[in-house]
Amino acid sequence: MYIFRFLKKNINDFFNSIDTITTKLLILVLCSITIPLMVVANFTTDIIYQSITDNARGRLEIYKKIFDKKYSDEMKDFEDSIENKINSYKKTNNLITVSASKRFINYLFKED
């Protein structure tokens, strides 16, 4: 009986010591490796996110400037085209309206 108690006590002590050593090693690994890696990963992710955001914002501003420049150039070309068409219409239509109005006045006041 004494031998069984001795074996049981030694086996339980062995498993308790393994559990204690395992727990201590896990805590050591957690504190010395895992937590610093998580902190570094968190800061690295923030830095990468900030870099991507700044880069995207810079590109967006460049594209906005390019779009505004192209838009203003197109509007200027459109405005010049409209002005040219209006001026050419005024030149040609003025001749037509003068002759048409003379004919219309003659038609109104002709004596039958």
Domain containing 61 equals 1-79
Question: Average per-residue pLDDT in the chain?
Answer: 82
The pLDDT value recorded for residue 78 is 86
The pLDDT value recorded for residue 112 is 54
In the predicted model, is pLDDT for residue 15 greater than 80? no
Is 5 contained in some domain? yes
Is 56 contained in some domain? yes
Q: What is the pLDDT of residues 39-89, one digit of tens each?
A: 888 999 999 999 999 999 999 999 999 998 988 888 888 888 888 887 877
Is 30 contained in some domain? yes
Is 107 contained in some domain? no
Is 13 contained in some domain? yes
The pLDDT value recorded for residue 51 is 93
For the ranges 55-59, 77-81, 91-95, 107-111, the lowest mean pLDDT is seen at: 91-95
Distance, in Å, from the CA atom of 94 to the CA atom of 101, rounded to the nearest integer, reads 10
Q: Where are the beta strands (DSSP E) in 1-112?
A: none
- The domain total for the chain is 1
Distance, in Å, from the CA atom of 90 to the CA atom of 103, rounded to the nearest integer, reads 19
